[in-house]
Structure 1
């Protein structure tokens, strides 16, 4: 059984996955190869193979690994000669991260290479065109770049940067850590058959009324006032986000980890109609026994995550212009759940180094207790966990019940199924919701359209046409735009941008959408009836 203290406990073979086979595929089913290379390690002649830090599949011989990683490095170096620093193509992820990238399209595969950590490392992936065709998966380069970058960001969240890990450990241990993580991450990674969802990489929010949201904010404020060591908080209801106080750079990775790996293990039983809902809260990870004063060791240790924090120590979101002011810090993560509400709390780790110990030993006796206590207060103890449990067991259940009552009331009023598919994305808030998302199957709670679509998933040619439309006719730099496209299978694709907010509608063949005028009229009705509050406001 995997240790709870191990950040990769959620990558065990028994991990439950909620996405259905109709809208996602396993990434490994279309994967040709995946690698991580450190070019500086293979500079010497005869040592080229040493640049390979990780390679999948493992069955590939070292000569082939060296050849493929060498080709990627050659592509990067060759294109550097033709691109000035100002014209290099940085790839912006959700938040403020960006990575330089290169793409290579061959007859058999689509290659993506990204440079990370001051271009010291190269991560690369190649997807087979034949396997993608068999799996009905359209290859969309922006989506592949985001998938590759997300893999790095997920590793960084649990282990820190490659460079910091490589400096503190010998190279063999670094390779072991990469193998330990990615050998579990890659086989269980799922991607959407609608690649636009993976390209946007947004977060699904739950819309609630203003007074109810004020109750949520009040609860969080009282929690932080009672326990000031808690620096950052994320609040979920079921699999939807309600509140967060961490950096946008970390939000997508943390959201995907919680909603796709941790929460599904407890969410499915709670959604059963016959399940008796208990108001008793519990920690999803950590110690079970909170009555003793024993230190948290082994399986009882809380997971450690690496999050970005401003130099001023605040937990507010940092804008793009202030990216360099954020530092990567270690935090202990507590995940507490009551009814359908989940609160993630983060306490910063303060390491008591050997140098600090020597300084403490030469200080006065009056100063020693203060310094020691200062360090101990930064470490989450059983007593702190018990006190938080006592606080949240009552307060969180009250708020969770109010949220549940409001959502149930809305579902009763809008229970009719819809006859269209949709994707909505707001880049300013990273808010995204879609009837094609894997999270749409985890819960019957929708953010804007509360009813389930009554139509089948769009065919592969429609998914591909959506990607082509976004690449050729929709500009990221323009805040407004509109586009209507009809597929060979008579599906209509409608793309609308208002104040940079993106709405994609997929309308199946119908007698009511035979002409462009009919589609425009139906689009107007859909927007006004389902997306008026979030799209046009």
Structure 2
């Protein structure tokens, strides 16, 4: 049987603990809030948590202002992150190795330089941001459900989160936490922005708007940190099931409710994003997907009751504008992408010209549609466009 020649870095364990719990002997297990893999014996969990706590406390004796960030051994890398007081997130990565022939036989050489602390620190921070997007904070979950409620929330969230991302791999892109924007020409971008601005002006309860095409961001009114969290959440857990592949949907044959993501009369998801006070506030997120395009609308918790009371008067306009406007915008954006791809080929100049001509004609229909749907007179239409 041939021996293995190499091994890649892998996630050995991931756990969250509260260092202020279980202060008495025999109660150390109370510190453990979440542990992956869940099949690990409780004694092993307690030992790992105790070791991590000892390391962070020992390191704090040498630096009172900054937390311990990592621990290196030949076979593992352990990274630490304290997002909230006394609550630590810890990730242990098994270092990859390569078997090389030596005089004594095959020897494993561990590739510790391939496991960078900054990359896995960013994984921990991304995981915490993803949690706060849906649950505000660890403290908020503890306050609403107690310790058992916090443990249940952590288990429900991270059991799904860890399967949706490959935390054992990473590069500089994970460190910068960049998002993918779709490059558009000025005219098309302004049309997208104008449509969303009109939508937000029509329904004042809408706090933020965003438009994505094939998971690429065209416009987003959220702050940069919330944008990163929302973009990652949509790509890994929501829009992966709404790829838009297949024949275009017909508004006359498919109910608009089937294109919303969530549950309820008008389906929505509860998220926490920054409001006017720059603190995390509850918002209802409405996601409408059609033909590869996605419109995101957030409605603040304060305005939710008022918005629901006016639903009969506003929902028809909201749904109609999102459904028809989104369909047209996705078609325009799709044709622009196709046009840019064709322009890269010198042999397709005539085809590109024909598509550009069709695109201009289609945009004219878009202006006529806005005129009819919103009842904008010619003077106002020119002002908007």
Give the alignment's TM-score, normalised by structure 1: 0.56
* Counterpart pick for 2:77 among 79, 104, 110: 110
Q: Which residue is equivalent to 2:26?
A: 46
Structure 1 runs not aligned, ≥5 long: 1-26, 89-99, 288-295, 312-325, 351-373, 417-537
Who wins on radius of gyration, i.e. which is larger?
A: 2
CA contact (8 A) 2:135 2:271 kept: yes
Q: Whole-Å Cα distance in 2 between the matches of residues 84 and 167 of structure 1?
A: 29
Q: By how many angstroms is 1:114 displaced? A: 0.3
* 1:253 lines up with 2:221 in the alignment: no
Q: Which residue is equivalent to 1:120?
A: 86
Q: Whole-Å Cα distance in 1 between the matches of residues 289 and 18 of structure 2?
A: 41
Number of residue pairs matched by the alignment? 323
* Counterpart pick for 1:129 among 95, 102, 107: 95
Q: Which residue is equivalent to 2:4?
A: none
Structure 2 runs not aligned, ≥5 long: 1-7, 100-107, 347-385
- What CA deviation, in whole Å up to 9, does each residue of 1:413-471 have, x standing for no partner? 1259xxxxxxxxxxxxxxxxxxxxxxxxxxxxxxxxxxxxxxxxxxxxxxxxxxxxxxx
Q: Which residue is equivalent to 2:331?
A: 401
Q: Helix, strand or coil: the match of 2:58? A: helix
Q: By how many angstroms is 1:176 displaced? A: 1.4
Q: By how many angstroms is 1:64 displaced? A: 1.7
Q: Whole-Å Cα distance in 2 between the matches of residues 375 and 278 of structure 1?
A: 30
- What CA deviation, in whole Å up to 9, does each residue of 1:483-526 have, x standing for no partner? xxxxxxxxxxxxxxxxxxxxxxxxxxxxxxxxxxxxxxxxxxxx
* Counterpart pick for 2:300 among 348, 353, 363: 348
Q: Which residue is equivalent to 1:334?
A: 286
* 1:75 lines up with 2:48 in the alignment: no
Q: By how many angstroms is 1:125 displaced? A: 0.5
Matches within 5 A, 1:352-391: 376-379=305-308, 383=312, 384-391=314-321
Give the alignment's TM-score, normalised by structure 2: 0.76
* Counterpart pick for 1:240 among 216, 225, 228: 216
Q: By how many angstroms is 1:379 displaced? A: 4.1
CA contact (8 A) 2:132 2:272 kept: yes
CA contact (8 A) 1:349 1:379 kept: no
Q: By how many angstroms is 1:146 displaced? A: 1.0
Q: Which residue is equivalent to 1:56?
A: 36
- What CA deviation, in whole Å up to 9, does each residue of 1:163-189 have, x standing for no partner? 111122221122111111112221332
Q: By how many angstroms is 1:405 displaced? A: 1.8
* Counterpart pick for 1:188 among 141, 153, 164: 164
Q: By how many angstroms is 1:210 displaced? A: 1.0
Q: By how many angstroms is 1:103 displaced? A: 0.3
Q: Whole-Å Cα distance in 2 between the matches of residues 349 and 33 of structure 1?
A: 37
Matches within 5 A, 1:266-281: 266-267=242-243, 269-270=245-246, 275-276=247-248, 278=250
Q: By how many angstroms is 1:112 displaced? A: 0.4
CA contact (8 A) 2:288 2:295 kept: yes
Structure with the bigger RCO (C-alpha within 8 Å, sep 6+) is: 1
With over 3 angstroms needed to count, the CA separation of the structure-2 counterparts of 1:155 and 1:132, relative to structure 1, is farther
Q: Whole-Å Cα distance in 2 between the matches of residues 304 and 380 of structure 1?
A: 19
With over 3 angstroms needed to count, the CA separation of the structure-2 counterparts of 1:229 and 1:68, relative to structure 1, is same
Q: Whole-Å Cα distance in 2 between the matches of residues 72 and 155 of structure 1?
A: 22
**Higher share of residues assigned helix:** 2
Q: By how many angstroms is 1:101 displaced? A: 5.0
Q: By how many angstroms is 1:38 displaced? A: 0.6
